Amino acid sequence: MTAAETFDDPFGGIHAGSLEVRLARTEDEVDAAQALRYRVFFEEMGAVPTAAMRRHRRDVDAHDASFDHLLVIDHTRAHPYESVVGTYRLNRRSVALGRSGFYTAGEYDIADLLAVEGEIMELGRSCVDAELRNRATMALLWRGIAAYVFYYDVGLMFGCASMAGIDPDALALPLSYLHHHHLAPEGLRPRALPGLYTPMDRIDAAEIDLRAARLALPPLIKGYLRVGAFVGDGAVIDRQFRTIDVCIVVMTDWVTSKYRHHYGADTYRPIPV
């Protein structure tokens, strides 16, 4: 059972001006998130929809029913399908293993992550409406993630993050930088599945222009690195979404300490799971 099914609002809406971040509470709100994902991924970024996706103009997969859907809602927009301007999918182990499992497991061997004690969480399918794609909106999404992490006492989070394009040689610089400078330690290192594995160490470490490599990273991956993220071994080419995926792993201690400092320890109270 997801948080949205169990509680009306597990951590309370978090507001910044006209924007609010909270979990989806109804099927219509999940539908609005899927509509936003379709506009961003398929209409704007060129992903290739299935016939059903194109017909309904929704990005939908088998995992949606298992995930909690974190939303940024713009209260200045009257139409409910336009008011959802940002979204993230969040999936806890205690929910995933009884339902559809983890999306990431379709691309990576995550046995090391599943061996971690306590609650772990997968996150993904992040997108923001083009008009509000800025630091403030992303910061609000991260406040929502931090609240969720506190609420469920999550110790580790992970998921697939994407770079535009399907030619690994064209992305050799950022891929090599991630491999040489942010590879997850042994015992906490997902590995791309056989048949999907694409080597990331395409340039020798000594030849990497660090500044250029960091500039070449997508903003979302830069954000993960700022909170101490590691990456798994190997990238995966996603031909439907026209991207190359890397597996991100984040121990949540740094995230929670940062947000506790900024927003107060009493804001987020862990509960038993």
Question: What is the tens place of the pLDDT at every residue in 36-81?
Answer: 999 999 999 999 999 999 999 999 999 998 899 999 999 999 887 8
pLDDT at residue number 30: 96
Scanning the structure block, which residue is given the tokens 């020798």?
204
SS3 117: coil
- Percentage of residues in the chain having pLDDT higher than 90: 74
Q: How many CB atoms lie within 10 A of CB 76?
A: 10
Per-residue pLDDT at 8 exceeds 90 = no
Instruction: State yes or no: pLDDT of 13 exceeds 80.
Output: no
pTM (predicted TM-score): 0.89
Compare 5 and 142 and report the one with higher pLDDT: 142
Side-chain half-sphere of 213: how many Cα atoms within 13 Å? 22
Q: Provide the token pair at 2.
A: 């997801």
φ, ψ of residue 171 in degrees (nearest 5): -110, 20
Secondary structure (3-state) at 163? strand
pLDDT band at 7 (very low <50, low <70, confident <90, very high): very low
Q: With pLDDT > 70 as the criterion, what percentage of the chain qualifies? A: 88
Q: Give the pLDDT confidence score for residue 263 in this predicted structure.
A: 46
Q: What is the DSSP string of 56-67?
A: HT----TTTTTS
Assigned token pair, 153: 């006492």
Q: What is the pLDDT of residue 254?
A: 66
| Position 93 pLDDT exceeds 90 | yes
CATH number for 3-267: choose from 3.90.70.10, 3.40.50.410, 1.10.3720.10, 3.40.630.30: 3.40.630.30
pLDDT digits (tens, 9 = 90+) for 201-254: 999 999 999 999 999 999 999 989 988 999 999 999 999 999 999 999 999 986
Whether 6 shows a pLDDT value over 70: the answer reads: no
The pLDDT of residue 23 is 94
Residue 81 identity: Y
Of the given ranges (53-57, 150-154, 165-169, 178-182), which has the lowest mean pLDDT? 150-154
H helices of the chain, where?
A: 3-6, 27-37, 51-56, 80-83, 93-96, 111-114, 135-152, 172-182, 210-216, 219-226, 253-263
Q: HSE of 251 in the Cβ direction (CA atoms, 13 Å)?
A: 9
Cβ atoms of residues 207 and 266 within 8 Å: no
Confidence of residue 256 (pLDDT cuts 50, 70, 90): low
Burial 5-20 (b: 16+ CB within 10 A, else e): eeeeebbeebeeeebb
Check residue 98 and give its pLDDT: 77
Task: Please provide residue 130's backbone torsions phi and psi, each rounded to the nearest 5 degrees.
Answer: -55, -35
CA distance 140 to 61: 25
Q: Which of 5-9, 71-75, 92-96 has the highest mean pLDDT?
A: 71-75
What is the model's pLDDT at position 270?
Answer: 33
Q: How confident is the model at residue 266 (pLDDT cuts 50, 70, 90)?
A: very low
- Cα 17 to chain centroid distance, Å, stands at 24
Who has greater pLDDT, 162 or 135? 162
How far, in Å, are 123, 127, 149, 228, 253 from residue 257 at the CA level?
19, 25, 11, 12, 6
Structure tokens at 53: 């996706």
Residue 273 pLDDT grade (very low, low, confident, very high; cuts 50, 70, 90) = very low
- Would you list the DSSP string of 18-54? TEEEEE--SHHHHHHHHHHHIIIIIIIS-----HHHH
